[in-house]
Amino acid sequence: MDWSSLLEFNVSPLELVVRGTAIYWFLFLVFRFVLHRGVGGIGVADVLLVVLVADASQNAMTGGYTTTAEGLVLISTLVGWNYLLDWAALQFPVLARFVEPRPLLLIRRGRIVHRNLRAEHLTMADLHSHLRQSGVNKVAEVRRAYMESDGNLSVIRFDRGPSKTPTRSKAQK
pLDDT per position as a tens digit, 9-59 = 888 889 888 888 888 888 888 777 766 554 345 555 556 567 767 776 676
* 139 within 8 A of 131, measured Cβ to Cβ: yes
pTM above 0.85, yes or no: no
SS3 content of the chain, % helix, strand, coil (to 5): 60, 15, 30
Kindly list the distances between the CA atom of residue 38 and the CA atoms of 45, 90, 159, in Å, as whole numbers in the listed order. Answer: 14, 16, 30
As a whole-number percent, the residues of the chain with pLDDT over 70 amount to 75
